[in-house]
Structures are given as structure tokens and as C-alpha cells.
Amino acid sequence: MPSARSSLAVLLFAMALLAAGCGGRPRPLLPSAPLRTATLPQLLARFNRDTAAVHTLSLKLQLTARAGKHKYPRISAFLLTRKPASIRLWGTFTLLGRIFDMASNGERFELELPTRNQFIEGRNDVVPATAKSPWEKLRPQVILNALLINPVPDSQSVALDPNSSPSEYDVFVLQPGPGGFERLVRRITFSRYDLLPVRQVIYDPDGVHTTIATYAKYAERGGIPIPTDMTINRPVEGYTLRLQLDSKGIAVNVPFLQPHTFTLTPPRGSTIIKLSDPPAGSAASGSATH
């Protein structure tokens, strides 16, 4: 008769085979829903309908930032947008209160850092080469462009990537460029399970800086799908943001967002830092003047 130890070994082996499936091979995971089919015009029409329907947004969220290998503590934040290009974002942390406040009208921005008694202002395309925190490199339009509120205009053309994965549709968005060549401005990936965007790559005019955004866990507001879990990555600047929305704190097309909501005034006694405008024809400058 086998010993108790050998009997236990045989039993464990049999349980392992049973858990792994017949012959020890894992069973394939079946998709949770059948794949859906859509033509490129259908994808574009739905995307433009949903994005064009958003005029203002008010979002309550949890914001997590990572710069290089350093991950910052999660903070509570509020985000407001008003088309065509206004955005306001501020964040608070327990015991410290508001740690940053940022606003932009589309061309220029203001950034208040209360814990450092600093007020930074300048053009959206001027980013410092070095910074002590990701908030100093963050520009409001990066978030605004990543939000799914920007339709594809008629001046741009679209093309379906024939090499898309079986469960996705990859759509290239191009616009006319110099010399008669088209320039890639966006790459939008749609899931074939629900035909909603799951990823978007946005290319800056310089062709070097990009925003890589991912979207998950959609919630509907007024028939408009809003992703409640967004990740925004800026590889060149070296930071990543994760926006986790409070489903109860989403308001679409609220009437109270006025233009003055998206301007900031330097607090009395704060140090004002003005980022210098880049020389004409050159890359964005990272210098600052007091």
C-alpha cells in the first residue's frame, strides 16, 4: 500500500490536472460578447456624433501621476471643460489642501502651486526641459485633446488600418501637410465588442511629441458614453496620468461654466514665473523669467 505522503502527492497531481484541463492544457477563454462589425463611415459617424454632443464637462475624479520611476500619491481632483478650448483642473491632497490649480483658454495657461507659493504662466507649447514635479510639465491641452470630445473635422481624412487586430478597428486620421503630403494627426482604436474607443494616439505638429491615451469602463450620461478610467501618457516629457472618474460626479453640458471659470489670478505675495516664448521657427523654449 502506498504511504500517506505518496497518496497525497498523487491526489495533488490529479487536482492540478483537473484545474488545468484535460491533458494539462489551459482552456481558451471565450469572449464575453460577440464581435461587432462596422464600416469606416459608420465608425466615424458614431465617433463624431458622441464627441460633438459634448459642449461642457464637469468631472470629479482621482488623479494619479507618474514621472519616470516615481509614482506620486493619488489626489482628489476636479476637471472642467468648455468648448472650444477652455479647461480647468485642480487637485487637493489630505492635510495639504489644494496643491495645484491649472487653467487655459487654448493658447495660454496659468498654473498655481500653492505649496510652493508660485504662479506660472505662459504659452501652452512652452514646456520646461527640467521640472521638480510633473505638474510643471503638464499642459492643460494635453488632457483636453485626450478627452473624447473632439470630432474629426471635414478637413481631415480617415483610413482603416488593414492590419488591425481581429478584435479592434484602427483608424488613421490625416490632414494635409506641406508639399502635398498628408500628416498623421491621430490614430483611434475601437473595440469590436462595443465599437467604442479604447486607445488614441495624438501626434503634435512637431511629429515628435505624442499623447497616448487609453479608455475603459464607460458610463453613459444623456446618451453620451464617457470613459471613467483614462490613462494619458506623454513619453517625451516622461509622465503618465491616470484619471479615475467618480461615476456620480460626471456632469455633461452643464450651463454654469462661464469664461471667467477658466482664468486664474496670482495670489498676493506669490512668485510669478513667466515662461519665455520660443523664438520664431525654433522648438519650444524651456527657460523661465521671473
Cα 188 versus chain centre, distance: 13
CA–CA gap between residue 88 and residue 263 (Å, rounded): 8
The answer to whether residues 61 and 244 touch, using CB atoms and an 8 Å cutoff, is yes
Average pLDDT over residues 98-112: 91
pLDDT of residue 162: 93
112-131 CB burial, b ≥16 within 10 A, e <16: bbbebebbbbbbbbbbbeeb
Mean pLDDT of all residues belonging to the chain: 83
Report which of residues 7 and 44 the model is more confident about.
44
Q: Is the pLDDT of residue 21 over 80?
A: no
> Per residue in 30-87, pLDDT tens?
556 799 999 999 999 999 999 999 999 999 999 999 988 888 889 999 999 999 999 9
Report all structural domains of the chain as residue ranges with CATH numbers, in order of start. 40-289 (2.50.20.10)
> Per residue in 179-211, pLDDT tens?
888 999 999 999 999 999 999 999 988 878 899
